[in-house]
Amino acid sequence: MKLTWYGHSAFRIEAGDAKILIDPFLTGNPSWSRGWEGPAEGVTHVLLTHGHNDHVGDATAILKKTGAQLVANFEICMYLVGQGVSGDRINPGNTGGTVDCGGFTTTFVQALHSSSFNNGDGSNTYLGNPLGLVLHFSDGRSLYHMGDTDIFGDMALIEELHQPEIGIVPIGDRFTMGGAVAALACKRFFNFKKVVPCHFATFGIIDQNADKFVAGMDDASSEVVLPQVGETIEV
């Protein structure tokens, strides 16, 4: 499985025939200045954890250009259909549900956050509940993108039900759990083989590095992976 981080919570995952973008905040992302066309090349699926602008990002443009399938909660799917995304290319769900994406499944799990789209005129459009995404691939691999969240006790149930091998974990504080709490979540509730921190260093008001998370994971069995922005790694 190949993973590319574009800063913030934006990732490209390649596994088998699936080429997946998660939370493709590319245009306007201070960590990434090379547009969305490269990351979106050949993409088959766009997955969104929640409706904030810095997660929906370029999803509408990418979906229109590529014809990729949109996997998100019902409200986000309907909102993007209203923005011109084809209604034939959506795969909606909600908390606790699992959808077949062809080559992998996506299970929608809880996240402690909020979800709305800033319309740029001072108003916000409510876009359903924030979610984490658990992906199970046909080769048996599994990945959990937590979305934006704090720690919560039912993470133990996510581990019991899904046993994700790879964790993508927000650590930037202020809008999500900080590095020390994120490390506690990983160690107390999960048996990840590899953990990739995200949602840090993008904006000045969140943590600028992963030091607290790395320090907190020092005695963990999971391998912490810190890719450079734009770097593709095998996980």
Q: What is the pLDDT along the chain (235 residues), one digit of tens a residue?
A: 999 999 999 999 999 999 999 999 999 999 999 999 999 999 999 999 999 999 999 999 999 999 999 999 999 999 999 999 999 999 999 999 999 999 999 999 999 999 999 999 999 999 999 999 999 999 999 999 999 999 999 999 999 999 999 999 999 999 999 999 999 999 999 999 999 999 999 999 999 999 999 999 999 999 999 999 999 999 9
What structural domains and CATH numbers belong to the chain?
A: 2-229 (3.60.15.10)
21: β partners: 12, 46
The pLDDT, as a whole number, for residue 160 is: 98
Pairing verdict, β 69-73 and 90-93: parallel
The phi, psi pair for 89, rounded to 5°, reads -115, 25
b/e map of 66-75 (b: 16 or more CB within 10 Å)? Answer: bebbbbbbeb
The pLDDT, as a whole number, for residue 85 is: 98
Token code pair at residue 197: 């921190």
Is the whole model's pTM more than 0.95, yes or no? yes
How many residues are there in the chain? 235
The pLDDT, as a whole number, for residue 123 is: 98
All residues at 6 or more sequence positions from 91 whose CB lies less than 8 Å from its CB, including other chains: 69, 70, 71, 77, 99, 101, 106
Residues 162/156, Cβ–Cβ less than 8 Å? no
The pLDDT, as a whole number, for residue 91 is: 98
The pLDDT, as a whole number, for residue 25 is: 98
Scanning 68-178, the segments in alpha helix (DSSP H) are 74-82, 155-162
Q: Whose CA is closest to 56, among 21, 98, 13, 30?
A: 21
